[in-house]
Structure 1
Amino acid sequence: MTAMDRRLENRQFGYITPENDAVPVRMMQGQQISGYSVGIVYIEDVYYPMVPGNVLNAYTYDFPVRMKAVPGLQQHRLFSADPTIADDLIRLGEHMIEKEGIRVLSSACGFFGNFQKVVAAALDIPVALSSLVQMPWIKGMLKPGQKIGVLTANAAAITDSLLENCSIHSRDDMVVKDLRHAPEFSAILEYRGQFDNGVVQTEVVNAALELLDEADIGAILLECSDMPPYASAIQRATQLPVFDFVTLIKWLHNATHQMPYRGFI
């Protein structure tokens, strides 16, 4: 048993209701707050609007999430997969587990996936640092020959190493479309502090439609944590399943916070 395992020895799962609250409860030694299912790490140096649906907008969720910036982390370091980030993520993850009681760790940028395997190996909770980790599961649901259309903020940063860390072993099943140079969406990457939300939505939807012209697309996957606000519009335009960070985080929450069923038989 590792030191981390010992510190988690008194971790307790369980849904408390007025009908079942007369039960023994316990807390991990050193834990200071509770009630958070998902921890979300993010780039500290950002400057743009985070509208509802964005991973870092609290109104996106109907359950509590714990958000923490990775100290000193800048976008260019993450996009270039600076290996020193891994230790920062592990330290922050350990803090969120031990002091704040999170049950699973995710992030607010798909390029945190470069550190998926090393962070998952170091922490004693499930880890899903990139929306791209959903790709093998999505592929298994599609018809043979169908591809997954991936919308990303920066196609150049979708390296073979990133894909391998997210358990994606081939590019054959994906078609990637980049919004890095879209006039309004680029405000996010360039930290302009504002954008026209309607124009951004149009740019993202048009990129999704372009994917359909390039291949037989069976589903859309949004790499970028700033794209979920437009998932509904993408689905309306493409008539396809749309997966993103929010579908991932809700899936993680449901798995780690099972609720009792009620009803008659």
Structure 2
Amino acid sequence: MENVVRGDPKLEPAFIAAARRLVARGAVAISSTCGFSIRHQPAVATSVNVPVVLSSLLLLPALLRQTPPWGKIAVLTYDSTCWEDTLLGVDDRAERARIVLGGLEGSKFWHDELKRPTPPIDVIAIEKDLTGCIARLRADHPAIATILFECAAFPIVSAVIRRVTKLPVYDITDLCRLTMASLPS
């Protein structure tokens, strides 16, 4: 996971090979367990003949269009210190200015993910870490109107965060459900 977050380019052939193996075994769509996999989206999508949705960040262009023009979108990530603006896929400077980034680096969840073996996911810690990060972001950016979870571990608390913030919260499971619902039965 840490190699994916840090952007190790040597991983791309492994992503492609894994996608091809999955399709050969009958997969009808491909996703991933880390939003930072967006770096490999173009290569994997061109290597197989099924829908590929490696990151919830693919939702960002649509969210920018459905959020009011004055509204900001908070992108919550596992580690914002590894962030590159190219991950957003947003070239327009005005649209980029509407995106606020928050990370959980230094949090309990972040430290747990670095341990080997990785301990079981602490749902309470993720909820607490995300709630605190969102509160800090909203204090600095009161126009936040939408939240997008980059990290594939965050959907476990999406419903709670929706209730607490009273904001729409999107994650990789939303994108996967949309993708799977679009496939012929």
TM over 0.5: yes
Change (3 A) 1:125 1:194: closer
Query: Which residue of 2 is the match for residue 221 of structure 1?
Result: 148
1:169 has 2:95 as partner: no
2:12 to 86, 100, 111: 86
- More helix per residue: 2
Tell me by how many angstroms 1:214 deviates. 2.1
Distance 1:152 1:248 in 2: 16
* TM superposition shift of 1:103: 1.4
Alignment partner, residue 178 of structure 2: 251
Gapped runs of 5+ residues in structure 1? 1-74, 259-265
Match of 1:188 in 2: 112
**Which residue matches 1:128?**
53
Deviation string, structure 1 residues 145-193 (Cα, Å, up to 9, x no partner): 2111111111022213323xxx3225322101111112x2224322251
Q: 2-side partners of 1:81 and 1:241: how far apart? A: 29
Residue 240 of structure 1 and its aligned partner are, at CA, apart by 0.7
What amino acid sits opposite 2:42 in the alignment? K
* Correspondent of 2:21 among 95, 98, 108: 95
Deviation at 1:209, TM superposition (A): 2.4
- Give the corresponding residue for 2:40: 115
- Tell me: CA distance 1:113–1:242, structure 2 relative to 1, closer, same or farther (3 Å): same
Bigger Rg over Cα = 1
Q: State TM-score, norm by structure 1.
A: 0.63
Mark the CA change 1:84 to 1:196 in structure 2 (over 3 Å): closer, same or farther: closer
* Percent of residue pairs bearing the same amino acid type: 27
Aligned residue type for 1:137: A
SS at 2:53 equivalent: coil
How many pairs were matched up?
A: 179
What amino acid does structure 2 have at the position aligned with 1:231? S
Q: Which runs of 4+ in 1 moved over 6 A?
A: none
**C-alpha distance in 1, partners of 2:131/2:6?**
27
Q: Judge which range, 75-84 or 226-235, deviates more.
A: 75-84
CA distance in 1, matches of 2:65, 2:133: 24
